[in-house]
Amino acid sequence: SPAALGGSYLGMVEHGSRAPSLRSLAESGHHLQEPRAAEMFNGHGALLGHHSAGFDDIDLPSAVRYLVASDPNLQVLGAAYLQHKCYSDSNAKKQARSLQAMPKLVKLFNSRSPEVQRHATGAMRNLIYDNAENKLALVEENGIYELMRTLHEPDDELRKNVTGILWNLSSSDNLKDRLARDTLEQLTDLVLVPLSGLGGSGVIQQNPSEAEIFYNSTGFLRNLSSASQQTRQKMRECHGLVDSMIHYVNGSLEVGKSEDKSVENAVCVLRNLSYRLYDEMPPSALQRLEGHRRGNGGAVTGELVGCFSPQSKKAREQYLNADIVTFTEVSKDPKGMEWLWNPQIVGIYNRLLQRCELNKHTTEAASGALQNITAGDRRWAGVLSRLALEQERILNPVLDRVRTADPLQLRSLTGLIRNLSRHARNKDEMSTKVVSHLIEKLPGGAGDRALPADVVVNIVAVLNNLVVESPMAARDIVYFDGLRKLFYIKKRRDSSDNEKSSRAAASLLGNMWQYGKLHRDFKMKGYRKEDFLGL
């Protein structure tokens, strides 16, 4: 039945080999290397030449003892040695922990000497890099509280280390909820709001150190945003957090910096905070968006009832007016989490798709975010889909991306097109734009490049959504050699993944047979009724 494939799809970058969930959530640490401190830098970025010479007659136990010496110069030496020794030596990290280096370093985070603070945080950054036990030890020594105190210092080198440590910590799933609870408000006030340009001038002005501090902080948020529903909620509700992400992305687009790595992080945060948005947003806000089901709007979500078909001009006008009415329910000046479902955000994602040429992770995240806000049966998913199609004219930029996309990008792009095809008012018009591009991507023989099964299922679902209402879609599938590919997919059942795409193709071919006018074309290509309707 057509309904079998009509479901709205919200793809997810899966963790390991987990089956994809319905929506689009970037996995934790995805594309993100944990940052670590340089092997041995002093506070001003110059190599610690004068210390490294003195490292010959020092070992780990004495370095840890130096941390509690009364002389700040010895504390610096001990911390510098730890930073150097733990740069890439996992045994040294283990030994340092057993020597109780962790609590001693934490005590130095807020030393009176800036030099000691920088070296203590630099050492900690390397101690916890890629080491789950040390991360946990830092947290258990009240490290998060001390780090947040340190973040108040107006010292860029120090803040680079602190935000680097936070980013490292956030790659541990078991720490994410706690980190969110203990850091978000202060991090937003101290780093995100001022450095995103949201506070004060309204313009992004970052020196190179501030750019790194902001990058670390958005990397930290990106990891946290892929955690639990509870943490997503906390992030959405944190005053200034969503606003600073939006402001930074918008400001970067205005000055032609869409390739920026912090833009990538910010868009990934927005994408993850849009995951299950309509299920998790405040009920009062959802009720406003779901409004107008009653009264003069008629059944806006479903097909229009009356003496004209949904494809007719009059029906489209009535639909459009019903959508415009809805825009009065969202603010022209969105604040906080309202941005996530505000019509203006569709334009931001569209500009990213159009302007970001090189950073594929950013465009993948933008299409994933669009996929999330157009997903499901809620009325607002339909409103934003139609806005994207009709006012933002998003199909062309999306199809441009499809041409050159890698499998990961294809997941979110085809998931988005699947949602749009479901909510589109004019299925004929959409068919003429997408059918040929999508068929081109489908495999048609054993030698063809393999596509992930969920991408194949998405493409077949798009074609099905269109065929059910548009004779042009069925005609174009025949014209662009789609039947050969669909029959190949239908017959390929050698794995559970291929079984899924086979069932999807069988459903679509069954719907194709309903078009009696095409039976002659089918026969000319050598296909019989049994091919379409048999399993």
- Residue 107: which CATH number? 1.25.10.10
How many Cα atoms within 13 Å fall on the side-chain side of residue 470?
27
Q: Do residue 225 and residue 345 come from a single domain? A: yes
Nearest to 248, CA basis, from 200, 208, 193, 210:
193
CA dihedral 170, 172, 176, 178 (to 10 degrees): -100
Which amino acid makes up residue 387? L
In a domain, 485, yes or no: yes
Q: Do residue 441 and residue 389 come from a single domain? A: no
Q: Do residue 515 and residue 470 come from a single domain? A: yes
pLDDT over threshold 60, residue 19: no
In a domain, 129, yes or no: yes
Q: What is the pLDDT, as a whole number, of residue 331?
A: 78
Q: What is the pLDDT, as a whole number, of residue 201?
A: 72
Q: Which residue do the tokens 């541990």 mark?
A: 172
Q: Do residue 462 and residue 345 come from a single domain? A: no
In a domain, 305, yes or no: no
Q: Do residue 514 and residue 451 come from a single domain? A: yes
Residue where a domain terminates, one of 378, 403, 425: 425
Give the pair of three-digit tokens for residue 63: 């370095």
Q: Do residue 373 and residue 229 come from a single domain? A: yes
Nearest-angstrom CA–CA distance, 274 and 266: 12
In a domain, 516, yes or no: yes
CB burial string 166-180: b at 16+ within 10 A, e below: bbbbbbbeebbeebb
**Could you report the per-residue pLDDT of 85-107, keeping only the tens digit for each?**
999 899 999 999 999 999 999 99
How many Cα atoms within 13 Å fall on the side-chain side of residue 7?
11
Report the pLDDT averaged over residues 145-153: 97
The structural domain count of the chain equals 3
Q: Which domain holds residue 247?
A: 195-290+327-425
Q: Do residue 399 and residue 441 come from a single domain? A: no
CA dihedral 317, 321, 327, 332 (to 10 degrees): 80
In a domain, 183, yes or no: no
In a domain, 28, yes or no: no
In a domain, 5, yes or no: no
Cα dihedral 179, 182, 185, 189 sign: negative
Q: Do residue 497 and residue 410 come from a single domain? A: no
Is residue 219 within 8 Å of 192, Cβ to Cβ?
no
Q: Do residue 522 and residue 453 come from a single domain? A: yes
**Could you report the per-residue pLDDT of 244-272, keeping only the tens digit for each?**
999 999 999 999 999 999 999 999 999 99
- What whole-number percentage of the chain has pLDDT above 70? 83
Among 5-9, 179-183, 403-407, the range with the most confident prediction by mean pLDDT is: 179-183
Q: Do residue 262 and residue 407 come from a single domain? A: yes
Q: What's the whole-model pTM score?
A: 0.88
In a domain, 216, yes or no: yes
Residue where a domain terminates, one of 425, 460, 479: 425
CB burial string 508-526: b at 16+ within 10 A, e below: bbbbbbebeebeeebeeee
Q: What is the pLDDT, as a whole number, of residue 104?
A: 98
Q: Do residue 460 and residue 412 come from a single domain? A: no
Q: What is the pLDDT, as a whole number, of residue 35?
A: 63
**Could you report the per-residue pLDDT of 29-56, keeping only the tens digit for each?**
444 556 666 554 333 333 344 455 567 7
Q: Do residue 480 and residue 415 come from a single domain? A: no
Indicate the average pLDDT of the chain: 87
Residue where a domain terminates, one of 425, 454, 478: 425
